[in-house]
Structure 1
Amino acid sequence: MSLSSAMNTAQAIFNNTGTQTSTVSKNMANSGNADYAKRTTIVSTTLFGAQVSTTVRAQNEVLMRQNLGAISQNSGQQSVLSALGDMRSVMGGTDYEMSPAKYLEALRNKIHEYATRPSDQVVGAGVISAAQDTVTALNTASSEVQRIRADADKQIEAQVDKLNNLLAEFKVANDMVTTETAVGGNPNDALDRRDSLLKQISEIVGVSVVNREHNDVVLYTSDGTTLFETSPRKITFERKLFYDASTAGNAIYIDGVAVDASTSANTTALGSLPALLQVRDEIAPTFQAQLDEVARGLITIFAESQNATPANKAPGLFTWTGYTTTMPAAGTVIPGLAASIRVSSVAAATPSLVRDGGINGAAYTKNPDNNSSFSTVLDQYDQAFDTSMAFDASAGIDVQKTLIGYSSNSLSWLESLRSSATAAGESKTALLARSTEAYSNMTGVSLDEELSLMLDLEQSYKAATKLVSAIDEMLQALLNIAS
């Protein structure tokens, strides 16, 4: 080997080591960055010796797709689970202490007590108080369920805005990737940024990625709607500020196609948007319908019959805002009835009318002699709590049940839904953790490996310095001979 070729070899080692050291240093600096993929320098042998030919970025498309799917599934499940937790809290938490079912039982007990002591007006006043508590529970529960729907609508608006912004950022990153790839540049940092945005997009809506020339990609939603192709598609949504039982929420449109709500406690949602639609348009309205049916059952049980024409009935202890002359039809939901039910002001002013009848006037009085021991009407009310009645099948639970049984089954429905959602959430969270770990193991940075490589590079650097030192000694010897 000539001195000049030896010097070229040393110079090549210095150049290669410098590039490799820079790559290793960058890897180590980003060891805690979940959005960073490990870089590896590739050294190849040429006519001019060993040279760094390229720096490659670790990637695995199969694991990436699995990770994106796990992110979407977990995000959707957590959105449903959070809403069910809110609904449970509205009912009083674990023991459902604030649920209408609890107050119905208390009211029934007061009616039974009043039936055994009809002359005790203190007990009569207690019936009115228990009735008011029941009404308050229904009104509050209905209001909170609609608040949950409004909150879901607000979250949808925020998620749509975020998704539009993410897609705009995705275009910038994607353009940089395709440009750098086309000119033979280094697209690695832009690829990291694009993958990071993909993960964030997957939290909102399920994503399918199709690769094209020059590392360009097209994004589709899980149902095949185009989300991004060269430029982002527009996602539109118009929020409603107020919700009641009759309010229907607006649709979310991606590239003009409406997003479908997900279904079941183990939700089919991929991303938060279909899950929030499920909460707003299916879960909360179903629970609202159950509350409305409980309110209808109360009004029905305590309705008064006209003496001359028993078929003619009118609201008794319980009435509702907007009542004119028609009683609620049997087995048919009246949307919003739980929000508008109230205790009759006439009964509240004269509790003995609950015992005697006549809240709607003399034509409905069952105790015209004002007998203080009269309990016939109260006994009927008491027995009515044990009598099965028809409920609307659209409310999702029993169609034939006692009122208290129906109200209890409504809580069972909610608890069953929440329990199933919790179990599904645990499974999907575990799946996300495993898929993230598998992807990280393939593309992430291992400090142990990088430190070992750094030691190897140090040895290469030392070898180059020794070579340069030997060349220097030889040149010095030649100069001494020449002089």
Structure 2
Amino acid sequence: MFGGTLGIVSQGLEILRKSIDIRNRNILNANNPDYAQEDPVIKTAIPYGISLETIERVKSLHYVQQRNAQLSLVSSLDERIKNNTRVEDLFQEFTQGLGGIEYINTFFTSYQNLMKDPTNEGARANLVQSANSLVGYLKDRKRNLDTISQSIDYSMRQYVDKVNSITKKLAKLNQEILITYAQTYARGQDYKNIFDERDRLLRELSEYINIRVQEDDVGRVKVETSKGFVLVEDKFSWELAYDGANKSILWKSKDGSQADISGEISGGRLKGGLDAIADLQDYQNRLDQLAKKLISELKLPAKTGITEYYWTLNYANPTDPLGISGTITLNGSSSVIINYTSTDTLTDLANAINSAGVGFSAVVVANPDGTYTLQITSSSPSYTITDSNGMVGGRVFEGTGIADIKVAGNISTQLSNLDYSKADEFNQFSRLWWDNSKNIYQGLTNAIAGNLNSYKKQYDIENAVLNSLNAKLQEMQGVSIDKEFMEVFQLQKSYQALAKVVSAIDELIQTTLNMI
């Protein structure tokens, strides 16, 4: 009789000791944000004593997934802000109130000063200096933006490596969960503390990429991107890769094929990096647009000394009417005057010059900025060309865009052969060119400042939501130390009471044995 009773009491002591251990574990993890409170469920089974039926883990997968989705959004914004802040730091407009606009204004001021006094040697030298300074500034900004682009590429590779590392750990953890579940099935299933590590990894993964999680009855997880690309299933994990050449994220299938999932990623630092790349590309395009505009528009009045001239006005299409009437005088192997009207086109004018046969040829060319103009080539630098409206000149800048813009190689020759009679006309042209250049550059700086301000405001809003969700989760699954101490106190009292029963049984056994 005593043996059966002692066995029941001993079992009870073991269950109470285990329950106390679980409560102590709760207390020790009270400050762990990924820890979910565990409650031992003790069941009375008359006449067999008590049993540890299971261990409940207080957790809401719905709120956890909602929190992780919000974390992905906040992390995406944080990454975008970080890289846009680096861009803003490049432009002195935001720190010292000076920058590209100063270089543009200085150049056009020197241009207009020269047109007011085209014989002034100092004004000529100043034009060349300011043109070189403007080109230097634009190229410096391009190099700076390229450096940021390379830095983003490096970060994206690091983030992808981190994702791959986490998914491998989750796949391994899925195996551990299954094994420990089987090992503890008959002993209250005390294995769910492994879920804390699992949840920590899921939260960390959400910081890098948006995920969707499914949990089976055992606690293993299937992890996918929000668009359905599997990252973890059972004991297997799938890898991502970053394609720096195409600025894209690739998902690697088990059969060796790859899929571009860049458009499917909607959160995390990978999304923030992709968005920052798009922002950076926009800024680089705007800078390139400015360079192309300078190359396409800026000209100096010239009638001799060079062999390559350009029509001053640019048109969206080569078939657009010129909109003005006038004459072009070609002094080559002989002299010829070509009349043009407002309804004529660049093509008409090119045909007329080519038909003159006096040592000049013309062709309609596409400018770097996408417009069209007329290129007139002289077979001898001693030949002269004069337009009644001042519509012919030499380019101040050459190249195809920001990558190769430079001051024209023949700028010194042009300055030595200025057509003084057309200086006023070109001074008028320069006002429009100046406005166009300033507008493009101000559009660039406005985009940088506007984007950053918008992202910061959105971050503040979404981060407040994240903090609210974290607080809600902590309220639901967090540990109340006061409650846990009370539970431990009650368990210890029960443990002590049972221990006294063991002591009493021991005394009864000894007394009985002594009576024999």
For Structure 1 versus Structure 2, the TM-score category normalised by the shorter chain is 0.7 to 0.9
Residue 188 of structure 1: which of 168, 172, 192 is its match?
192
Residue 251 of structure 2: which of 250, 253, 278 is its match?
253
Q: Aligned residue for 2:203? A: 199
Matches within 5 A, 1:183-332: 183=183, 184=185, 185-230=189-234, 231-240=236-245, 248-255=246-253, 256-261=258-263, 269-280=266-277, 282-304=278-300, 306-307=302-303, 312-313=309-310, 328-331=367-370
Shift of 1:408: 0.9
Corresponding position: 1:179 with 2:224: no
Q: Aligned residue for 1:52? A: 52
Q: 2:368 touches 2:401 (CA, 8 Å); kept in 1?
A: no
Corresponding position: 1:439 with 2:473: yes
Give the aligned CA root-mean-square deviation in angstroms: 3.7
Q: Deviations over 1:185-221 (max 9, x none)?
A: 5331332222221112212221111233533322211
Matches within 5 A, 1:62-461: 62-92=62-92, 94-95=94-95, 97=97, 99-114=99-114, 121-122=121-122, 124-183=124-183, 184=185, 185-230=189-234, 231-240=236-245, 248-255=246-253, 256-261=258-263, 269-280=266-277, 282-304=278-300, 306-307=302-303, 312-313=309-310, 328-331=367-370, 337-344=401-408, 347=411, 358-359=414-415, 362=417, 365-367=418-420, 377=423, 383-387=428-432, 402-461=436-495
CA spacing shift, 1:129–1:19, aligned 2, 3 Å: same
- Residues 117-126 or 173-182, more deviating: 117-126
- Residues 114-123 or 47-56, more deviating: 114-123
Q: Deviations over 1:70-108 (max 9, x none)?
A: 121112111211121111111136247564233212323
- Aligned partner of residue 75 in structure 2, secondary structure: helix
The whole-number CA distance in structure 1 between the counterparts of 2:292 and 2:105 is: 16
The whole-number CA distance in structure 2 between the counterparts of 1:203 and 1:257 is: 22
CA spacing shift, 1:253–1:470, aligned 2, 3 Å: closer
- Aligned partner of residue 340 in structure 1, secondary structure: coil
Letter in 1 for 2:262: D
The whole-number CA distance in structure 2 between the counterparts of 1:92 and 1:448 is: 56
Q: Deviations over 1:396-448 (max 9, x none)?
A: xxxxx622122112211221111111111112222222222222222232323
Q: 1:138 touches 1:339 (CA, 8 Å); kept in 2?
A: no
Letter in 1 for 2:33: A
The whole-number CA distance in structure 2 between the counterparts of 1:274 and 1:41 is: 42
The whole-number CA distance in structure 2 between the counterparts of 1:345 and 1:39 is: 78
Q: Deviations over 1:125-183 (max 9, x none)?
A: 44433323321221011122222222222222222222222111111101111233345
The whole-number CA distance in structure 2 between the counterparts of 1:192 and 1:423 is: 33
TM-score norm. by structure 2 comes to 0.72
Q: 1:75 touches 1:270 (CA, 8 Å); kept in 2?
A: yes
Q: Deviations over 1:449-481 (max 9, x none)?
A: 2223233334334444565666678789x6799
- Aligned partner of residue 402 in structure 2, secondary structure: helix
Shift of 1:345: 5.5
- Aligned partner of residue 34 in structure 2, secondary structure: coil
Q: Note the residue ranges of structure 2 that are not aligned, 5 or more in a row.
A: 313-363, 373-397
CA spacing shift, 1:133–1:56, aligned 2, 3 Å: same
Report how many residues are paired.
Answer: 429
The whole-number CA distance in structure 2 between the counterparts of 1:473 and 1:234 is: 66
Of all paired residues, the percent bearing the same amino acid is 18
CA spacing shift, 1:148–1:101, aligned 2, 3 Å: same
CA spacing shift, 1:186–1:458, aligned 2, 3 Å: closer
The whole-number CA distance in structure 1 between the counterparts of 2:102 and 2:485 is: 65
The whole-number CA distance in structure 1 between the counterparts of 2:371 and 2:15 is: 80
Letter in 1 for 2:276: V
The whole-number CA distance in structure 2 between the counterparts of 1:296 and 1:435 is: 49
TM-score norm. by structure 1 comes to 0.76
The whole-number CA distance in structure 1 between the counterparts of 2:217 and 2:499 is: 44
Q: 2:79 touches 2:269 (CA, 8 Å); kept in 1?
A: yes
The whole-number CA distance in structure 2 between the counterparts of 1:213 and 1:31 is: 26
Q: 2:108 touches 2:430 (CA, 8 Å); kept in 1?
A: yes
The whole-number CA distance in structure 2 between the counterparts of 1:89 and 1:193 is: 39
Letter in 2 for 1:191: F
The whole-number CA distance in structure 2 between the counterparts of 1:67 and 1:450 is: 26
Q: 2:30 touches 2:481 (CA, 8 Å); kept in 1?
A: yes
Q: 1:174 touches 1:190 (CA, 8 Å); kept in 2?
A: no
Q: Aligned residue for 1:18? A: 17
Letter in 1 for 2:206: S
- Aligned partner of residue 54 in structure 2, secondary structure: strand
- Aligned partner of residue 51 in structure 2, secondary structure: strand
- Rg (Cα) greater in structure: 2
The whole-number CA distance in structure 2 between the counterparts of 1:470 and 1:269 is: 67
Shift of 1:62: 0.7
The whole-number CA distance in structure 1 between the counterparts of 2:70 and 2:170 is: 20
